[in-house]
Amino acid sequence: MKILILNAGSSSQKSCLYELSDEQLPEHPPQPLWKADIDWTASSDFGILTVNANGVKQEIELRGDQHLEGIAKLLNTLVEGDTKVIESLSEINCVGHRIVHGGKKYSAATLITPEVEAEISNLIPLAPAHNPAHLEGITAIKKVLGVAQVAVFDTAFHTSIPDENSIYPLPYEWSQKGIRRYGFHGTSHQYCANRAAQILGKPIASLKIIACHLGNGCSLTAIKDGKSIDTTMGFTPLEGLMMGTRSGSFDPAILIYLMKEHLYDIDQLNHLLNKESGLKGISGISGDLRPILEAIDEGNERAKLAFKMYIHLIKKGIGEMLSTLEGADLILFTAGVGENAPIVREKVCHGFGFLGWKIDQDKNNSHPVDTDIATPDSTIRIMVIHTEEDWAIAQECWHQLKSD
């Protein structure tokens, strides 16, 4: 069977096509037949569609205000030109979508119905940068394909978090209105935890795991018995750790002060907290860690401060997850920074050296993938896991089709 994945972000669209056996899923993630990414931030006027298939890489310029048209062109590259991998779009059996916010209603992958679409739309105020993009993808597929579509919710994995960890210390009635911790990056956290357990050859239910998803967005999750029991992101993806351009957690009275004394409005605050804070806000350089590390080598003091804050807040968050789990057997690092920045893994784990956490520096510096980088005498396994959100979504689609 052929399964198409649409993974829409706030400013991007990542897609791939898998061809899978009807009988059994492979043990390891297969290479997709085709991959395509749209970057809507190329300029204010246009986006760039990059397609990889048949050993060919192709770039296509798209109008920046025509997202649905862009998705249509993306789909055309499956059946046209040098990147053609299928004869007709009708060969696609299912389309899987990563959906950032599903609220408390959806605790598992779900076939998309009008009711599910309506709920995704209702949750736009909680994920204004993401849920509209997901709906665009669902609409585009409906126009060209009459196949099953499956929603895989980033929040689903976190519906197992108990009330004492998910309800905020605010008037209780607010929690009944949906104001509570939802958590995000759930698809990545769940996949990576299961992959780590598989590599170690241990049942996931036997492990206490701290999963560190460190990319432009950052979150930690405490996993026990294979379930999320606490996480750093909350009502929105803004809470928790210091991130690329997001602030993470801070004293909420600061907002009251800024509105009262400096007349900031809601839109200004929203932009500042989501787009101009975090690593970018402190360093004044970028939300990307790489140029910040380069600036540190050149003696830039604000870059040094940003990095020290970043590491401090990750360690602080790990301490919270550690106390929730009452110990840990495994810590894993994933996503862009987690997988590719050995200095971050080194600094974070060094902070827990008093607990016997020890990294093998040679392994840490050798571009590890799906690897245990702890020394033999470390009191905890330390792993780098390549996140495979698209493959996790494809597996959910496969199971949905087989259950019909």
Catalytic residues: 154
For the stretch 312-315, contacts whose Cβ atoms lie closer than 8 Å and that sit 24 or more positions apart, written own/partner, are: 313/241, 313/242, 313/248, 314/212, 314/214, 314/218, 314/220, 314/241, 314/344, 314/348, 315/348, 315/351, 315/352
CB 13 within 8 A of CB 38: yes
Q: Which two tokens stand for residue 362?
A: 């040679």
Longest dimension (CA), the chain: 64
Enclosing H/E stretch for 38: strand 34-39
Q: Please, what is the angle between helix 289-297 and helix 301-325, to 10°?
A: 130
Please state, in angstroms and rounded to a whole number, the distance separating the CA atoms of residues 80 and 386.
31
Please state, in angstroms and rounded to a whole number, the distance separating the CA atoms of residues 148 and 383.
36
Phi, psi of 258 (to 5 degrees): -65, -40
User: Residue 127 carries which side chain, given as an amino acid letter?
Assistant: A
Q: Please, what is the angle between helix 67-76 and helix 131-144, to 10°?
A: 50
CB 211 within 8 A of CB 382: no
Please state, in angstroms and rounded to a whole number, the distance separating the CA atoms of residues 337 and 272.
23
Rg (CA), the chain: 21
DSSP H helical ranges for 123-225? 131-144, 163-166, 172-176, 186-200
